[in-house]
Structure 1
């Protein structure tokens, strides 16, 4: 398509690429400048500015009666903002919510939402509204020549381009917006702190961001809470104009209960309770027994968390909740605003305050100049009135006798048209002698005011002092104490899953076919449990419910899972193959449970083994990890706990009835591998099928049982002297009847 216009066509023909690019850029600029981003001057978006102006035009000041919100919304969309009424009403509601705005601009009456659901407000036909007292800082100087005016959307009315804000509302109430290719996230701040920083910058233009941050400690959110971001990070945010602030809930202890009294900004109490309850239902938070929401008008936020017992570490519990719920939240900061030059940009704190002070200086200058023009005009009129009073009789005579008295008065007394018009509009009652005295008194007052105005306008220092005094006056009138405390806290850490589980005694039972279950307590007898048809007891281990149960298969691979996740011993259990993926042909042989620092003896029936810590058996891999190198044709032995003892003795026995005892210190402690030889089996005996039947570690005072089928021989720690030797020796023959050893166990 050519870029030309046909003589007979009323349409302009342009390439689609050009048209689409131009249309998109026009739309993008509209969204950026006229919808999404606030202006540095009054800190408002167009819809907010129009709502406030429309309410002021309706006479809805803070001293007036409330009016239906539908009336306000109708005026806004009918006169200034031709968009949807629901979006307009939502913008007005936001400015009325004390939990959304630090200094609300609208005073609402009725249901304007709640922290649980800010959008649960009633329809606009039910609610009433008026401007809040703070809104006067935006409107007080509106009719004093302080702002430019522009036609509304249909050209029938005028609306202000900006409101003459007396305070930096942009920082005080903050704002959020998403434009095209950019966004803004400005947190609210404390009025007194911001004014103090403005005064510091007025007095010292070269003040750095760090110096300004001596006054502005950080954001100040309407819901309170604690700001736990470090001072260094907050300073970096204000120096760059972007970053993130972490805010944390405030809690206290009442008896055995934990009471949350303040939440981070824009966090719903109902959502927090839902998040905690979800962990409780998933059995991932057994430390909490109950939750309640006791919030009311006297206590806007009061969430009650009841620990399961008085032994619960409440500080660790709350730290876990901070890390896993919205009780701690990161709030993004992006100081992206429309500057005085009409262009959007990210400003640091000093640039933002400098821009606003330039806007304020221009506004005050325009206000003073407007007032000076009024004073000069009025003095000009008063000069003419005084001439008339000094020549009252002649003035009356001219008015009575002349058809056109105005030019005659101008010629006779040297008056201007404005003065002559003012004389002609005088009422007879104003011709009294007393009126002349009033005019002279008014003229003297206006002369003094004119001199003051000219002095201020002619002196930058006096103008700066005036701006400073007005800021301090408004800070005294509308300022309040900081709500969000700045506290140094360590980063919240979620508790480990094992830390959240109560440490109850538990016995884990493994069957021959690889089915597992857990019974509460250590008194249970695993051999007496019911098993599936064709299945039987294989191994058992005693430990705590907050520990990991570790399993070893015939290939020497270890697997682990939390003991509290195992099915109850009242059932037949579940197959470990549903949790793990062992190599083809491998079967689960043994298990152990204990703390990470506990030690166990790992060995194969080929006669090799080593001591290792329980943490070396831990793994998150479904396929497990290789722990023991098992020789071809060999199998793993039962994992045996190793007590911390300097006189620990390792006892190993072969299936042919040979038993060897030696100091455990002769065996190395490894993380994985084949290990060292425990007891010697000659090659000829190995060919005949002899293998290691068992290996255990006993300490002083412990006994071991040597089993030969259903018979057993009890050996005390002292009895092992009869079988004493060095590691890897053949050992000594057991008594008659124990020539076919099947296993070794510790005596209970």
Structure 2
């Protein structure tokens, strides 16, 4: 049997793949943005949150009811309003129940709803029970009063509210986070009383500036006692732009020498912080900490105790280091991207958000009042008809008893409306007793009074705003509380440098002629008595502390630095510097120093140029070092000399021709690198041919003695004897006495 197929394309829409995928992706993007990830400015809720709250209200799970299984709520939400995953829905419900996640929880949970250390540790929905929290009344009490637009649910069988009629700006109170397609939102929570006060300000003075608003809203208010340390000026900028970053820092105090942490930043796990500190202790990066304990319990949800090794440890420096290296200080992104009243997502500044919410609130109250006015007028209309019937009771009864169509006859006889006629016919005889006239007229008077009040409110924008103001203040009094997150401006935390974490023990660093280096404990070490490799020998040694940097200078004028505590012990031959550093080809290491960061030193090349440099400028974290002193062709670098008093010290420079020049150190420039200035006048041609060069220099204090060595001869010159050699920097200098035309070395004696 042969089967035929219709392969014609009649009735089939043809679209390019590019066009189809682009449109499909755009539709998906808009769905995620509008119906999943971003909150609405009116009630501050995403669709899943709104549906959970509404479904719970429909199940009569208000704050005064008994708790019901969470699975019941989730089932209703999924079956009626939100056809998505049950786990995602339940997690959204859990988040609204956690007091450490929501500033003002919407759900009151019973059972295991997670813990600050592990918010995801909540029990399954079949075990937990829930009802709405008291604060949810802010979103629901006006729901059945004509205040919202109703939209069909996903299958069109029932309606759900498009936005809940929030009496307070819940978006700012609880904040929210969400990731959409191409955009995200991060709105921090705020204090209810502060936000209500800001709303009242804008109602009273609509032209108030953002600065005026921020007099009431000092900053976000997270559900934790940790400090917000972002400066006020920066917070103001965030509120102006709608974007930025906030920093929170843990709170601690010192109790009998121990550091006790009592509050952690928002959503920071105490267990993770302990793990981070313990990891540093194991890596020997916290030698000043002896022990770490977690003493958190039901009465003290956060109590982490850090025990310093001794009372000499600065707890302030320790905590600054921990703030910089652990989650004890955390940053929080702010991106107030929300769906506005126009249905479009937009990043809004704080004042715009409040003003737009007030428009929403005024409109909601107007709808509520109009709804009530319509009900009042309808009831007055019915009472008017009922009173007519009561005043003509016998005739009405006669018509009902004898007429085939009494409704039409009543309408024609008494001039009443269709609605009034139906109401009269539906009224029981017992309601037509003698006393009913007084009740009818009494109810008419009350309703007429209420009608006048409602019409007055609806007819006056000022009265409407006064009503909004009154209700805001009442809700702030009912649901408000004190600020939890104090605003304290703090400086930026600084982690301790590696050298700060090392004990400051005396060490002697020894460098050999072939560039091998080692470090021995103490300053009594005799470097000449150490053993060296065959063909190698002692070159230079320097004394310092184990927490300092050792600076090496090579023959190319480059400087390098290594932490002293990382150098090999003096028991062996050490290790070659070329294994850790990368000097230029052919360069040899000439000098080793251990200056402090502030120590000033004179750098000199034998070509007669030099400058003053600090110890910090001589250091380099780069393996290839830094170009410290620029050397003219064929010139060599001379060992740097320490400057004790920049303003008072003098510099003595001697050439191989026996010329000596003495001048003030202050005449030299202070540079971080470079060639420097001319120290002594060496003719250019003689310097180029290497016929004359500087053989040495020394830094002199006014009370010191300069000692010159030429072969076996020595010449001691007191400071007063140097007047003949004093001159301006860069001069030729004067000749030394006969016998000292070839100076081998010079040094200073006090």
Q: TM-score, normalised by structure 1?
A: 0.83
Q: Distance in 2 between matches of 1:388 and 1:118?
A: 66
Q: Counterparts of 1:359 and 1:102 in 2: how far apart (Å)?
A: 22
Task: Give 1:95 deviation, angstroms.
Answer: 1.4
Q: Deviations over 1:659-688 (max 9, x none)?
A: 999979699867665986899xxx9xx99x
Conservation of the 8 A alpha-carbon contact between 1:610 and 1:668? no
Asked if the contact 2:638–2:696 (Cα under 8 Å) also holds between the matched residues in 1, the reply is yes
Q: CA deviation at 1:168?
A: 1.0
What is the alpha-carbon distance in structure 1 between the residues aligned to residue 597 and residue 411 of structure 2? 108
Do the aligned partners of residues 731 and 74 (structure 1) sit closer, same or farther apart at CA in structure 2, a change above 3 Å counting? farther
Who is 1:207 aligned against? 208
Who is 1:161 aligned against?
A: 162
**Correspondence list, 1:49-64, <5 A:** 49-64=50-65
Quote the residue 2:382 is aligned against.
381
**Compared with structure 1, are the counterparts of its residues 496 and 717 closer, same or farther at alpha carbon in structure 2 (3 Å cutoff)?**
farther
My pick for the range that moved more, 695-704 or 154-163, is 695-704
Aligned residues: 725
Match runs of 1:255-404 below 5 Å: 255-392=256-393, 395-396=396-397, 399=400
CA distance in 2, matches of 1:382, 1:483: 54
Measured against aligned partners, the alpha-carbon deviations of 1:698-740 in whole angstroms (never above 9, x if no partner) come to: 88799999999xxxx9999899999999688677879xxxx99
CA distance in 2, matches of 1:126, 1:716: 96
Gaps of 5+ in 1: 1-5
Write the mapping of 1:681-692 to structure 2, written as runs, cut at 5 A: none
Counterpart in 1 of 2:452?
451
8 Å contact from structure 2 (residues 225, 264) kept in 1 = yes
Structure 2 counterpart of 1:476: 477
Q: In the TM superposition, what whole-angstrom CA distance separates every residue of 1:379-426 from its partner, at most 9, and x where no partner exists? A: 333334344444555555555556655445545554444334334444
1:131 Cα deviation (Å)? 1.0
SS of the aligned residue for 1:130 comes to strand
Q: Which moved more, 1:186-195 or 1:426-435?
A: 426-435
1:149 aligns with 2:150: yes
Query: CA 1:155/1:630 → structure 2, altered by over 3 Å: closer, same or farther?
Result: closer
Partners of 1:523 and 1:63 lie apart in 2 by: 81
Give 3-state SS (helix, strand or coil) of 1:123's partner.
coil
1:626 deviates by: 4.6
- What pairs up with 1:272-671 in 2 under 5 angstroms? 272-392=273-393, 395-396=396-397, 399=400, 405-427=406-428, 429-529=430-530, 536-569=537-570, 572-598=573-599, 612-613=612-613, 615=615, 616-627=617-628
Per-residue CA deviations over 1:531-572 (Å, capped at 9, x if unaligned) read: 567655443211122322112334443321222332344565
Unmatched segments (≥5 aa) in structure 2:
1-6, 726-732
Distance 1:179 1:155, change over 3 A: same
Partner of 2:93: 92
SS of structure 1 residue aligned to 2:61: coil
1:171 aligns with 2:172: yes
* Cα distance between partner residues in 1 of 2:473 and 2:401: 57
What is residue 136 of structure 2 aligned with on the other side?
Answer: 135
User: In structure 2, what is the Cα distance between the partners aligned to 1:222 and 1:626?
Assistant: 53
- Residues in 1 aligned to 2:472 and 2:631: alpha-carbon distance in whole angstroms: 82
Distance 1:668 1:530, change over 3 A: farther
Report deviation, 1:249. Answer: 3.1
Preserved contact between residue 703 and residue 715 of structure 1 (Cα < 8 Å): no
Structure 1's 176 and 364: CA in aligned 2 closer, same or farther, altered over 3 A? same
CA deviations 1:296-332 (Å, max 9, x no partner) are 3333333334444434444444444444444333433
Could you say which residue in structure 2 is the equivalent of 1:3? none
Give how far 1:349 is off: 2.5
Of the structure 1 ranges 331-340 and 55-64, higher mean CA displacement relative to structure 2 is found in 331-340
Which stretch of structure 1 is more off in the superposition, 663-672 or 140-149? 663-672
Give runs of aligned pairs for residues 15-94 of structure 1, distance below 5 A.
15-94=16-95
The offset of 1:67, in angstroms, is 1.7
SS at match of 1:591: strand
1:229, 1:245 within 8 Å by CA — same for their partners in 2? Answer: yes
The DSSP-based 3-state class of the residue aligned with 2:594 is: strand
- Aligned in 2, Cα 1:337/1:695: closer, same or farther, shift over 3 Å? closer
Judged with a 3 Å threshold, the aligned counterparts in structure 2 of structure 1 residues 697 and 13 are, in CA distance, closer, same or farther, namely closer
Shift of 1:577: 1.4
What's the offset of the Cα at 1:210? 2.3
Q: Does structure 1 conserve the Cα–Cα contact (< 8 Å) formed by 2:320 and 2:493? A: yes
Question: What is the aligned partner in structure 2 of residue 186 from structure 1?
Answer: 187
Q: Secondary structure at the match of 1:551?
A: strand
Contact 2:705–2:718 at 8 Å: present in 1 too?
Answer: no
Kept in 1, the 8 Å contact 2:608–2:693? The answer is no
With normalisation by structure 2, the TM-score equals 0.83
